[in-house]
Amino acid sequence: MIELARRAVECAVAASCSDAEAYASEDAGREVRAHGGEVESLTAATRRGVGVRAWVGRRVGYAYGTDLSEAGIRALAARVAEAARIADEDEFAAPPGLPVRLPADMGGTSATEPVAALELSDPTIGEWPVERVADLALAIERATLEADPRVAGVEQAVYADSAERIAIVSSTGIEAEYERTSCHGYTQALAEGEGARETGLGFGLGRGPAALDPGEIGREAAARAAAMIGAGKPASRNCPVVLDATVAASFVALVGRALGADAVQRGRSPFIGLAGETVADEALVIHDDGLDPEGSASSPVDGEGTPRRRLALVEGGTLRTFLYDTYTGRRAGTASTASAGRGGYRSQPSVAASNLVVATGRLDLEGLLAEAGDGVLVTDVAGLHSGVNPVTGVFSVGASGLAIRGGEAGEPLREFTIASDLVSMLRAVRAAGSTPRWVPFGGSVRTPPLLIGEMTVAGS
Amino acid sequence: MSELIESEVAERVLRRALAGGGEFAEVFCERAAGLTLAIDESRIESVQSGASAGAGVRVLSGGTTYFAHVDGLDPGDLERAAAEAAAALHARSAEPRPLEALAVAPQPIELRPAEVPAERKAELLRELDARGRAAGPEVSELMASYAEVRREVAIANSDGLLTGDDRTRVRIGAQAVARRGGEVQTGSETLGGHRGFELLEDDPAAIAEVAAGKALTLLEAGPAPAGSMPVVIGGGFGGVLFHEMTGHGLEADHVQKGASVYAGKLGAQVAQPLLTAYDDGCMPGEWGSDSVDDEGTPTRKTMVIEGGVLASFLYDRLTAGHDGVASTGNGRRESFRHLPVPRMTNTYIAPGDAEPEAMIAEVEKGFYAASFAGGQVDPATGDFVFGVSEGYLIEGGRVTRPCRGATLIGNCLEALLAIDAVGRDFEMKTGVCGKAGQKVPVGTGQGHVRVRAMTVGGTEV
């Protein structure tokens, strides 16, 4: 991979770009879908490609391709040079240079040497033949059906894994290469009762298949679906709301997106002007941690080769920093926070959180419900991509969950919305729970359930 | 037939795919090239050029689909994919039928985007920027984007089909931000089609003005109401309501797994007699159109609801075989890296006979959802949610003040039955639909539609 990335950089420079950076990746992955006690589909895939970002003076362009022959790389270099020429000049557009200040715990290595030693690969993936991972998908489906008599079916049970190798090289001297594996399993249970059908999702993730517990995944899906049987609508009102870990994670991911410096610099974040200000209750502490060994977004370097780190975003109620890549850092006169994200070789780097980690509190879920008194426990949300205005942070999203009565979980509720705005919600956090979990929805987030003092619930 | 794959190579690949047995094998080849660029802060940026080529091979055997995909279209790449797909199969080999080419005329493209100088595309974005900003001094930001893609596909299968398609799509979008004091609002608009650069002949920059106009209007917005009330849905992208609410539940894979509220309801009255709806994958030039679907089945117009009666589900090959019917040409995939699944193409509620003004005049107190940001449904329960991007109160039969941050929520069986008026106006809009991790271009359409009662999720309790 690193040779390919080097060659792509050389060709772009030869095509009269002043600087270039290449991101090359290859991955092998499998996916098994089970349904009705049989394997519905079995996919084996290999992917290889390279993306090149290149500068012509203060203009920058991007091109990617899957033709990795010498002719293909040359054609790609010509395309990226052309793309850069179409762009307008931008005084802050420049290639990432060598990081000058590295965190002390990395011993001041330069990016041309190996950075943090992170174990992100589980070699056992390769030792599990396809028959064995197919059995795992089937076991997830079986566990879902057996977990509760009200489960009438399973929409699907899925196992998927991937092993990837990524190399980043720039004409300014950056060279990084790493490997990473990941796998996940999930299932969607269908429960029936009181003349209606309910669905529930169960999931697990890890670096290798041994990290997945099919029984646990199945039981979660079954419990979520069965819990919703007989659900009614809550009365419309303002009240305390407890977000379970999966729902809290979705909102934390939205907060992470709004803290990207690109959104802030372009006037499109609800957090503009709030750096150093009180934005949350002290109960809420959020870190961006690109080095957590368990995090699915962990990597030794970010999408443009800057060594990853652990960064306080919200602490002591204060917004400590925005997330910067090299471009937004240069524009703000500050260093990159190693927050250049990559959606693969087909997308140019852009500011993104790595793993968002929410600090745990003292109360378990029952304790949070007791603290809430009367309100709503939200266990699922829908419509996040259309119900949240990223510029203003105002949101109204579909929700389902359980009533909270007298400090305990009560009857199931569906077909209602919860509404607020992101900053008001952070300020209204009253407590973080004691039981965190990794959630992969909309980003990589580790969070416990959260108690929000007040939100608007709209139902009947 | 297609320069992507020669007939002899296709036959060899299919034979290799069936070497370990199986009832059906297919090779899907694709070459895609695209260009996107954007303007932000009045500066052309994010210029990106992409090129990819690859193939996916699937083998069906005893209820299981074996699928493998590779980058590259060399005969060696294709045979590697076939071998990988067949790796878990160890029965006696099966013989593919001789290939017979099915010639299909692609949608006509007048001006290939790749032949238009890049400067012209940058210039277009500058026009959008200027038009949007000229809408008013309170327009503080304007973002606009241009995207073109050409996807050539070839499909060969062991039933003897060899066909292909050549698809060119162009889409532009504009998003405006307006500010007044501490109030911030956004508005957006898109224009797209299965067409070439000719799509942009007729005043494309008008979309920036429309986007800015929405943001400016919303500066006057108050909080959205919360509770159940009559709702009038606007035309065009309002059709996303039907897409989410009903369309997904008609996709045969959901139906066959019992994960659709419409399972077992063919022939049942699911809407008032005034409602008729279609999925039409061959509308000329529309965003969701193709000549053949991604399994090589010619696209067609399928009536899904006829006078309120559920008339048809939407099928790909696999689900059609399961129900003993013909594919409706809805087997679509995001790329060669994905398996085809039943997907909508252009889905719309046919025009009715109501005047939009009269539909609103009959509402004493309600909500007017002029446009949506998007929506989501759980087909198994029928629960849906829509984010309203442009909404207003209806008071005394008139549209009054705009509302911010509203969501519509409900259950599709009830909401579809509650549609009590369909307007005579009609418009199609473009969308990108996500399902099973795959995104495909879809068209949505309708005139104004009124729902007797629906929950509006605002903040004003």
Partners of B69 on chain A (C-beta within 8 Å) are 43, 45-46
A 401-430 → B contacts, CB under 8 A = 414-421
Partners of A44 on chain B (C-beta within 8 Å) are 67-68, 84-85, 87
Band of residue A98 on the pLDDT scale cut at 50, 70, 90: low
Residue ranges, chain B, pLDDT below 70: 1-2, 461
pLDDT in tens, B248-281: 999 999 999 888 999 999 999 999 999 999 999 9
Strand partners, A180: A164
DSSP H/E element including B268: none
Per-domain residue ranges of chain A: 2-28+42-103, 237-458
Pick from B51, B389, B409: CB nearest A398? B409
CA distance linking residue A82 with residue A88, whole number of Å: 12
Cross-chain residue pair A40–B69, CB shorter than 8 Å: no
Partners of A60 on chain B (C-beta within 8 Å) are 45
Pick from B37, B48, B459: CB nearest A63? B48
Pick from B35, B51, B228: CB nearest A65? B51
Q: Closest approach of chain B CAs to the CA of A445, in angstroms?
A: 20
Partners of B50 on chain A (C-beta within 8 Å) are 63-65, 346
**Token pair in block for residue A46:** 């290999």
CA distance linking residue B367 with residue B114, whole number of Å: 44
Return the pLDDT at A442: 83
CA distance linking residue B236 with residue B425, whole number of Å: 9
Return the pLDDT at A112: 43
CA dihedral B188, B193, B196, B200 (to 10 degrees): -40
Return the pLDDT at A105: 39
Return the pLDDT at B436: 86
CA of B114: how far to CAs of A81, B72, B126, in Å?
16, 22, 19
CA distance linking residue A317 with residue A155, whole number of Å: 42
User: What pTM, to 2 d.p., does this model score?
Assistant: 0.93
Q: What is the 3-state secondary structure (H, E, C) of B98-150?
A: CCEECCCCCCCCCCCHHHCCHHHHHHHHHHHHHHHHCCCCCEEEEEEEEEEEE
Show the DSSP H helices in B264-388 as ranges. Answer: 317-323, 356-361
CA atoms B82, B88, B93, B95: torsion sign: negative
User: Angle, nearest 10°, between helix axes A214-227 and A130-147?
Assistant: 30
Please return the burial class of A193, using the count of CB atoms within 10 Å of its CB with bins 0-12, 13-18 and 19+.
middle
Average pLDDT over residues A320-333: 96
Strand partners, B164: B154
Size of interface A-B (CB pairs under 8 A): 246
Band of residue A100 on the pLDDT scale cut at 50, 70, 90: very low
Cross-chain residue pair A67–B140, CB shorter than 8 Å: no
Cross-chain residue pair B51–A389, CB shorter than 8 Å: no
CA of A41: how far to CAs of A157, A350, B5, B255, in Å?
11, 34, 25, 18
CA distance linking residue B389 with residue B401, whole number of Å: 14
Average pLDDT over residues A18-34: 96
Cross-chain residue pair A42–B407, CB shorter than 8 Å: no
Which of A262 and A119 is assigned the larger pLDDT? A262
Return the pLDDT at A380: 96
pLDDT in tens, A36-51: 999 999 999 989 999 9
Average pLDDT over residues A185-209: 95
Return the pLDDT at B226: 84
Per-domain residue ranges of chain B: 7-218, 222-456
ipTM of the complex: 0.92
Band of residue A30 on the pLDDT scale cut at 50, 70, 90: very high
Cross-chain residue pair B65–A42, CB shorter than 8 Å: yes
Q: Closest approach of chain B CAs to the CA of A264, in angstroms?
A: 13
Cross-chain residue pair A38–B121, CB shorter than 8 Å: no
CATH topology of domain A2-28+42-103: PmbA/TldD fold (3.30.2290)
A 142-171 → B contacts, CB under 8 A = 152-153, 155-156
Q: Which distant-in-sequence residues (6+ apart) come within 8 Å of B115 by Cβ?
A: none
Cross-chain residue pair A419–B121, CB shorter than 8 Å: no
Q: Closest approach of chain B CAs to the CA of A104, in angstroms?
A: 34
Partners of A88 on chain B (C-beta within 8 Å) are 43-45
Cross-chain residue pair B407–A382, CB shorter than 8 Å: no
Question: Among residues of chain A, what percentage have pLDDT more than 70?
Answer: 96
* Greatest extent of chain B over all pairs of C-alpha atoms, in Å: 75
pLDDT in tens, A101-125: 333 333 333 444 445 678 899 999 9
Return the pLDDT at B2: 59
Partners of B53 on chain A (C-beta within 8 Å) are 66-67
CA distance linking residue A324 with residue A321, whole number of Å: 9
Return the pLDDT at B396: 97
DSSP state of A272: T
Amino acid at B451: V
Partners of B339 on chain A (C-beta within 8 Å) are 41, 43
Please return the burial class of B367, using the count of CB atoms within 10 Å of its CB with bins 0-12, 13-18 and 19+.
buried
CA atoms B237, B440, B436, B342: torsion sign: positive
Cross-chain residue pair B457–A41, CB shorter than 8 Å: no
Contact A430, A284 (CB under 8 A): no
Return the pLDDT at A101: 39
pLDDT in tens, A347-406: 999 999 999 999 999 999 999 999 999 999 999 999 887 788 888 898 989 999 999 999
Q: Is the Cβ of A233 closer than 8 Å to some Cβ of chain B? A: yes
CATH topology of domain B7-218: PmbA/TldD fold (3.30.2290)
Cross-chain residue pair B65–A67, CB shorter than 8 Å: no
